[in-house]
Structure 1
Amino acid sequence: MSAEESATTGADASLDGAASDVVRDATETREPLPGTGGFAGETDGNLVRDVLGRRPLFVDADDASAWAFDPRELPAPVSVPAGTVAPVGERPDPEASDRRWTLPDPDPMEDDDAALAAVRDAVLARTRALGGDDSAGDVAVAFSGGVDSAVVATGVPDAPCYVAGFEGCHDVAAARAAAAEMDRDLRVVELTHDDLREAVPALVDVLGRTNPMDLSIALPLFLVAERAAADGFDRLALGQGADELFGGYAKVEKAPEDPRVAADTVRGARHELLGTLPDQAERDVLAIRAAGIEPVAPLLHDDVVAAALDLPGHLLVDGDRRKVALREVARGVVPDSVRTADKKAVQYGTYVSRELDRLARRAGYKRRMDDHVERYVRALVSDGPVTPPETDS
């Protein structure tokens, strides 16, 4: 396992994701993309978390000298902001000079062929690195049948692919079709209401979040990771970050008309969306680790990020085509039917959001109530059985 793919099991247990000399150099030079897959921890008396927050890190709200990778180890955990370098014992301030690294916003490359070649080289190098060492056999792939996870899967051609979902959902159907086209071993985690009821308390415990959106995204990841861990795998490779990096969202496509983004260009909207990655990475990494397996996101490696940042807007979104550059990179790497496939957000493509809502309504939390699903979640993680609430007037 490479340094950037390792967790706290490396030689320096106080750092997660990178060697101390790499982080030290990046700290001194203020280089935001020093060639890692993200890092967090303590070095030279400072707490550090990389510019995209790809590894979680927490300090205690009441004792800033106490920090941890797992929030459950602290009485009052608070996330360390991405890009931070701050002395241990001083609570990091995201508005102050503690923010050592900021994400570059370079001018786009003028040569489309050169821009695409740089992305292709970076993506293929990082995905192939998954299978490039003696530990390649310990990798499983989270697989939805879309271009992101399919490209990742090509890096480990012998690894099994896992998909979770309820009967009849989009993601399972898409994954089955893509796996057949790619001749891959697909293992389907067929979800039930019991799976959700049992997993929600574990996720709330580790995430400290009860909002339905975060839980609906984390639940299928957690349940896939749990199955892969039970099957004996140590790492779970994911396509996380592709939508943010390569323009996969409708709100990026529709900038500046879409009110969900403030930016007035596609590249500006992409940059805005990249700012959401630390919160997402914290959720996803903690959920997967709680299942007993280590996540690896090759499409969020610094090399891929740097190449993607150089892309002009029309190689992110062109008309109604999104993730243009990534789909071009995938040409000849995955079947065209997979390369061009539409993708649904995981919470909808797996039916997890729908079924969590159904569970809430069956328990008496009707849609006319404010935050009815979150109220159900809070009841589910409290002591004792879930009981229907008093009818709202």
Structure 2
Amino acid sequence: MRGATDDVVRAALASSDPLPGTTGFAGELDGTLVRDVLGREPLFIEGALSGGPMPDWSHKPTELADPELFPAGCVRDSEGERTVWTLPDPEPFDDRATATERVRGAVEMSVDSVDTDGLAIAFSGGVDSALLAARLDAPLYVTGFPESHDVEAARSAADLLDRELRVVELTHDAIERAVPEIAAATGRTDAMSVQIALPLYLTAERVAADGFDRLALGQGADELFGGYAKVEKAPDDPRVEADTVRGAQREVIATLPDQLPRDVLALWAAGVEPVTPLLHDRVVSVALRLDDRMLVDGETRKWALRQAALHSLPESIAMRDKKAAQYGSLAARELDRLARQAGYKRRMDDHVTKYIESLL
């Protein structure tokens, strides 16, 4: 069992508690396969997802001939597969002051409880990773091309926090080398998956080479706290079906069980263990109690998290906007450039994915 003790998982099964105080878990317990409600730990099985004898399983798809991602919130025993946990749908907080204080308490407790032995921090200068940097004594790493937004933002934020920053400079050679390694580790060749994993993987490689075996990440904050434009613009954004911001928040949270294995597997392949305090159950619990204006206030996304962060961070960091890592690092732009240089033009359908597959 990864991510939690057997006793904690047994208690969660007995009580049907989807958020029992962990950062996720997955594995075999008493002859039963389990994966937590948000799929924070990867779990793959061989063959059909239901019926028949207990399948072979692994945390890594590379160890199975025909891996299938096991669904989050489910168990599988000799009687088949069934859902045992679903995300709760609690009533929102009564007021924004209470919401801010509860978010602050959950975030600070989760971050402060992280063991810093062997730890480094993936730092992009945004509010999520800056919360980790402000409260944990661990070195900061940013990855990107020299002119990238992430490198510039990380440098300015590190200066404000009076912290040293280690820059992992992206190059075309590094991208071309890393792409097939990421695809092999994750089992994914689509452009978006590889673009997202690239800066994570190359950061983790450098961290491991420097002697650290754990990497703290601000993962989950955008999904939990309303960090996406499509959440802000609900119900007018066609990328979400919800007719409220809070409904859109739950839609993007539901994508985590498919997204997180990609990142975990890429980091494992690079030689480090991910540490994700903002995905702790206590943080998830308070995030689910935020209403529309606690998530997005006007054009301010992640409003409650930013307000809570003001206790730890300068306002200029707590309130700054930040691009997604694949864009902020310029990894996506330069992977596209490499694809076009190799003859995979934009007029071709999914040209970057075709380029990635050509490297395997």
Of residues 105, 109, 134 in structure 2, which corresponds to 1:121? 105
Of residues 245, 248, 259 in structure 2, which corresponds to 1:280? 259
- Aligned twin of 2:147: 168
For 1:332 and 1:30, locate their aligned partners in 2 and report how far apart those are by CA, in whole Å: 35
- Aligned twin of 1:203: 182
User: Deviation of residue 196 (structure 1)?
Assistant: 0.7
Of residues 25, 28, 53 in structure 2, which corresponds to 1:39? 25
User: Deviation of residue 198 (structure 1)?
Assistant: 0.6
Check 1:287–1:22 CA distance in 2 against 1; reply closer, same or farther (3 A cut).
same
For 2:229 and 2:348, locate their aligned partners in 1 and report how far apart those are by CA, in whole Å: 29
Of residues 76, 94, 100 in structure 2, which corresponds to 1:86? 76
Q: 4+ runs of 1 displaced by more than 4 Å?
A: none
Can you give the 5+ residue segments of structure 2 that lack an aligned partner in the other structure? Answer: none
Aligned residues, how many? 356
For 1:234 and 1:167, locate their aligned partners in 2 and report how far apart those are by CA, in whole Å: 26
For 1:259 and 1:187, locate their aligned partners in 2 and report how far apart those are by CA, in whole Å: 39
**RMSD over aligned Cα, in angstroms?**
1.2
How big is each residue's C-alpha offset from its partner over 1:10-45, in whole Å with a ceiling of 9 and x where there is no partner?
Answer: xxxxx0000001000101111000000000000011
How big is each residue's C-alpha offset from its partner over 1:242-299, in whole Å with a ceiling of 9 and x where there is no partner?
Answer: 0000000111111111111000011110011100001111111111111110001100
- Aligned twin of 2:314: 335
For 2:358 and 2:79, locate their aligned partners in 1 and report how far apart those are by CA, in whole Å: 36
For 1:72 and 1:185, locate their aligned partners in 2 and report how far apart those are by CA, in whole Å: 37
Kindly provide the amino acid, as one letter, of the partner of residue 187 in structure 1. R
For 2:19 and 2:246, locate their aligned partners in 1 and report how far apart those are by CA, in whole Å: 19
Kindly provide the amino acid, as one letter, of the partner of residue 20 in structure 1. D
After superposition, residues 61-210 of structure 1 pair within 5 angstroms as 61=47, 64-87=54-77, 90=80, 92=81, 98-131=82-115, 136-156=116-136, 158-210=137-189
User: Deviation of residue 303 (structure 1)?
Assistant: 0.5
Kindly provide the amino acid, as one letter, of the partner of residue 150 in structure 1. A
Aligned with 2:28: secondary structure? strand
Aligned with 1:16: secondary structure? coil
Identical counterparts, % of pairs: 59
- Aligned twin of 1:223: 202
- Aligned twin of 1:358: 337
**Higher RCO, 1 vs 2 (CA within 8 Å, ≥6 residues apart):** 2
Q: TM-score, normalised by structure 1?
A: 0.89
* Residue 31 of structure 2 is aligned to residue 51 of structure 1: no
For 2:295 and 2:347, locate their aligned partners in 1 and report how far apart those are by CA, in whole Å: 40
- Aligned twin of 2:8: 22
User: Deviation of residue 88 (structure 1)?
Assistant: 5.8
For 2:334 and 2:310, locate their aligned partners in 1 and report how far apart those are by CA, in whole Å: 36
For 1:202 and 1:53, locate their aligned partners in 2 and report how far apart those are by CA, in whole Å: 23
User: Deviation of residue 332 (structure 1)?
Assistant: 2.9
Q: TM-score, normalised by structure 2?
A: 0.97
Kindly provide the amino acid, as one letter, of the partner of residue 56 in structure 2. A
Kindly provide the amino acid, as one letter, of the partner of residue 139 in structure 2. P
